[in-house]
Structure 1
Amino acid sequence: MHVGAATGGYDVVVGRSDVAAHVPGLLGDGVQRVLIVHAAAVEPLAARLGDVLRERGVRVWLQVVPDGEAAKTAAVTAQLWAQLGAAGFTRSDAVVGVGGGAVTDLAGFVAATWLRGVAVVQVPTTLLAMVDAAVGGKTGINTAEGKNLVGAFHEPVGVLVDLTSLRTLPRADLVAGMAEVVKGGFIGDPQILQLVEADPVGALDPDSAVLRELVERKIALKANVVTADLRESSLREILNYGHTFGHAIEQISGYRRRHGEAVAVGMMFAAALAQRAGLLDAAGVARHRDVLRAVGLPTSYTPPAGYDWAAHLAVMRRDKKTRGDLLRFVVVDSRGEPGRLEGPAEDDLRAAYETVLDRA
Structure 2
Amino acid sequence: MTETDRTTAATAPRVVRVEGERPYDVVIGRRLLGELPALLGADVQRVLIICTEAMTASADAVREDLVAQGYQAILAEVPDAEGAKSAEVASFCWGVLGQADFTRSDAIVSLGGGATTDLAGFVASTWLRGIKVVHIPTTLLAMVDAAVGGKTGINTAEGKNLVGTFFPPAGVLCDLAALESLPKWDFVAGLAEVIKCGFIADPRILELVEADPAGLVERGGASGEDSAGEDVLTELIERSIRVKARVVGEDLTEAGLREILNYGHTLAHAIEQVERYAWRHGAAVSVGMMFVAELARLAGRLDDAVVDRHRDILTSVGLPVTYRGDRWEQLLAVMRRDKKSRGDLLRFVVLDDLARPARLEGPDPTLLAAAYAEISADAPTTRTISL
TM-score after normalising by structure 2? 0.90
Distance 1:45 1:281, change over 3 A: same
Q: 1:348 — aligned with what?
A: 367
Q: Does 1:13 align with 2:27?
A: yes
- Unaligned ranges ≥5, structure 1: none
Structure 2 distance, partners of 1:198, 1:295, is 11
Structural mapping, 1:58-207, within 5 Å: 58-204=71-217, 205=219, 206=221, 207=223
Conservation of the 8 A alpha-carbon contact between 2:306 and 2:354: no
For residue 319 of structure 1, the aligned residue among 319, 338, 354 is 338
Conservation of the 8 A alpha-carbon contact between 2:24 and 2:170: yes
Look up the equivalent residue of 1:26 and give its one-letter code. L
For residue 63 of structure 2, the aligned residue among 50, 59, 62 is 50
Structure 1 runs (4+) greater than 6 angstroms displaced: none
- Give the match's secondary structure for 1:38: strand
Conservation of the 8 A alpha-carbon contact between 2:203 and 2:354: no
Q: Deviations over 1:45-98 (max 9, x none)?
A: 211110011112222110111110000000000000111111110000000000
For residue 2 of structure 1, the aligned residue among 11, 17, 26 is 17
Look up the equivalent residue of 1:348 and give its one-letter code. L
Deviation at 1:169, TM superposition (A): 0.1
Conservation of the 8 A alpha-carbon contact between 1:135 and 1:219: yes
Conservation of the 8 A alpha-carbon contact between 1:270 and 1:330: yes
Deviation at 1:202, TM superposition (A): 3.9
Range with greater deviation from structure 2 (262-271 or 50-59): 50-59
- Give the match's secondary structure for 1:230: coil
Q: Does 1:357 align with 2:376?
A: yes
Q: Deviations over 1:33-52 (max 9, x none)?
A: 11100122222221111001
Structural mapping, 1:324-339, within 5 Å: 324-339=343-358
TM-score after normalising by structure 1? 0.96
Q: 1:30 — aligned with what?
A: 43
Range with greater deviation from structure 2 (256-265 or 278-287): 278-287
Conservation of the 8 A alpha-carbon contact between 2:50 and 2:109: yes
Structure 2 distance, partners of 1:335, 1:278, is 15
For residue 282 of structure 2, the aligned residue among 260, 264, 269 is 260
- Give the match's secondary structure for 2:376: coil
Q: 1:310 — aligned with what?
A: 329
Q: Does 1:227 align with 2:246?
A: no
Structure 2 distance, partners of 1:234, 1:29, is 36
- Give the match's secondary structure for 1:320: coil
Deviation at 1:265, TM superposition (A): 0.2
Deviation at 1:151, TM superposition (A): 0.4
- Give the match's secondary structure for 1:308: helix
Look up the equivalent residue of 1:107 and give its one-letter code. A
Structure 2 distance, partners of 1:69, 1:355, is 29
Structure 1 distance, partners of 2:52, 2:354, is 41
Conservation of the 8 A alpha-carbon contact between 2:20 and 2:249: yes
For residue 238 of structure 1, the aligned residue among 247, 260, 273 is 260
- Give the match's secondary structure for 1:139: strand
- Unaligned ranges ≥5, structure 2: 1-15, 224-228, 380-387
Conservation of the 8 A alpha-carbon contact between 1:140 and 1:152: yes
**Count of aligned residue pairs for this structure pair:** 355
- Give the match's secondary structure for 1:57: coil
Deviation at 1:201, TM superposition (A): 3.0
- Give the match's secondary structure for 2:173: strand
Q: CA RMSD in A?
A: 1.2
Structure 2 distance, partners of 1:81, 1:359, is 45
Look up the equivalent residue of 1:325 and give its one-letter code. D
Conservation of the 8 A alpha-carbon contact between 2:200 and 2:354: no
Deviation at 1:335, TM superposition (A): 4.5
